[in-house]
Amino acid sequence: MITEQQYQRMMNQYAKSGVRGTAAMKGGMHRETATKYLEAGEGPQPEKKRGRRRPDPLTTIWPGAERLLLDAPEVEAKALFEHLLAGANAPQAQKALRTFQRRVLSWRRHHGPPKEVFFPQAREPGASIQLDWTHAAQLGVIIAGQKWEQLLCHAVLPYSNWEWAVPCRSESMLSMRQGLQAALWAVGGVPAKLQTDHSSTATHVLHRTTGQRGFNVEYLALCRHLGLEPCTINPSCPHENGDIESANGHLKRRLATHLTLRGSREFADEAAFARFVAEVCTAINALRSEKLAEERARLQPLPATRYPEADETRVRVSSYSTVRVKQSSYSVPSRLIGAMVQVQVTEAEVAVRHEGAEIVRYPRTIGHRARIDYRHIIASLSRKPGAFAGYIYREELFPRPSFRQAYDQLVRAAEAKADRHYLTLLALAAERGEDEVAAALGVLLRAERVPWPQDVAAALSPREPTTPVLAAFTPELHSYDALIVEVSA
């Protein structure tokens, strides 16, 4: 059927030219269709609404559905449909899920509660920057052979939608210092306000007496240094931080697309992944240059120096040969037991110094996981092999999968002495090098041989003799002649 507009165009052209073919072309219809309407002398008639051609399949269950919807209008349609079918004999409704969902939608639009209305806001250039953390494990990134399941610290300027993101390990003050300052230095200025949500312990502290949340001291000090006014949204109102909440999803979708175009999701280290994220953000921001220019004109200048992005503290080395830093334990050489050491903690690393010299440096752990280097404790543990079975950090003493497999083989071969044999292997790795011992273990395991310590030691390459080479002594006789002359005189 043609529309009334097509019919009018066809009739006007026919009145002008009198040619049916031309009139049909003008009306966008076939010549035979135009002929039919010209001979009938009238245009298309409204189609009569057809009645239901089959019985209503929801007759049995719909009255019960209406009663339940009145009590709980938010209930999901499919769940309600399955509930009604379970309690009613209605075989005709079994295949009417889509019909039921459409009817529930129509009922809600006529009788349901009002929906929440969102109010778009007018943004001022340079007025604020919003910051949030978002989980990004779904990107499937592999860093140094390990799946990356951490966060992105994400900042957005709401007026221009300029954004910047930095990979981080936790939702902490350390990651905020790093992520926020990276964003401000990338954009080249400081907005008037910093807006965050209400839940993060990086920015807020809970007052136990009143139950109210206020800004913590470290967050306020960071804002003072950068010249930012701290502000927050209302509790349980994430839509008030809508720009950054929406941008979180958009950024992760863009990163996923760029990872696909890259052809690989593997990175050598966290720094390489951080550079990749920065490159993606730079490409996105290039499309926002016009509004960004307006923002930059309103930004305050950057401070002369960055706020320190590391925490420093002094701790005493425990009798376990470990130091406790932010709820995690890190081992140090046992000779430092009882000594005070300086610990520097960044978002990514923990460095331990003693009297100005760096002793150890570890990737920072999240949660309560420990970092134990077997080289620090193997001498004492070899003298006390019985302590290995119940050692609380026992799993940290398997530096590679091959070491774990070797221990399992030793347990199967000689369970009573397996701990002692394995500690001998660790001592050998500390002395001769972990790579060399791991290679020897791999050879024995692939040959399905038990990795006895003596067999592993025999498989290692022989060491070069370390006998010192002495310089040849060449006597100087002139001095003896002079001595004889002096004595004779």
Q: Per-residue pLDDT averaged across 421-449, rounded? A: 94
Dmax over Cα atoms in the chain, in whole Å?
A: 155
Residue type, 178: Q
pLDDT at 222 over 90: yes
Q: What angle do CA 372, 377, 378 make, to 5 degrees?
A: 115
**Is the dihedral angle over the CA atoms 412, 415, 419, 422 positive or is it negative?**
negative
What is the Cα–Cα distance from 366 to 296, expressed in whole angstroms?
36
What is the Cα–Cα distance from 489 to 485, expressed in whole angstroms?
6
Token output for 159: 């007026």
Q: Of 1, 33, 244, 64, nearest to 10 (Cα)?
A: 33
**What is the structure's pLDDT at 480?**
67
pLDDT in tens, 196-212: 876 667 787 766 665 56
Cα distances (Å, whole numbers) of residue 54 to 50, 59, 128, 333: 12, 12, 60, 83
Q: Are strands 340-345 and 311-316 parallel, antiparallel or unpaired?
A: antiparallel
Proportion of the chain above pLDDT 70, given as a percent:
88
pLDDT in tens, 20-40: 888 888 888 898 888 888 888
What is the Cα–Cα distance from 463 to 201, expressed in whole angstroms?
55
Question: Per DSSP, which regions of 122-216 are E strands?
Answer: 128-135, 142-143, 146-147, 151-157, 162-168, 193-196, 204-206, 213-215
Q: Per-residue pLDDT averaged across 88-95, rounded? A: 85
Token output for 231: 């502000």
Cα distances (Å, whole numbers) of residue 463 to 15, 281, 432, 457: 108, 52, 9, 11
Q: Are strands 193-196 and 229-232 parallel, antiparallel or unpaired?
A: parallel
3-state secondary structure 54-116: CCCCCCCCHHHHHHHHHHCCCCCHHHHHHHHHHCCCCHHHCCCHHHHHHHHHHHHHHHCCCCC
Cα distances (Å, whole numbers) of residue 359 to 161, 330, 350, 379, 428: 44, 12, 11, 18, 22
Q: Identify the DSSP state of 452.
A: -
Q: Of 350, 422, 437, 428, nearest to 389 (Cα)?
A: 422
What is the Cα–Cα distance from 162 to 294, expressed in whole angstroms?
12
pLDDT in tens, 139-175: 999 998 889 888 999 999 999 999 999 999 888 899 9
The backbone region for 144, taken as left when phi is positive above 0, alpha when psi lies in -120 to 50, beta otherwise, is: left
Proportion of the chain above pLDDT 90, given as a percent:
61
What is the Cα–Cα distance from 10 to 195, expressed in whole angstroms?
62
**What is the structure's pLDDT at 307?**
94
What is the Cα–Cα distance from 197 to 248, expressed in whole angstroms?
14
Q: Of 262, 264, 268, nearest to 146 (Cα)?
A: 268
Least confident of 110-124, 229-243, 437-451: 229-243
Angle of helix 20-27 relative to helix 31-40, nearest 10 degrees, comes to 100
**What is the structure's pLDDT at 50?**
60
What is the Cα–Cα distance from 200 to 114, expressed in whole angstroms?
32
The backbone region for 123, taken as left when phi is positive above 0, alpha when psi lies in -120 to 50, beta otherwise, is: beta
179 contacts 131 by C-beta, under 8 angstroms: yes
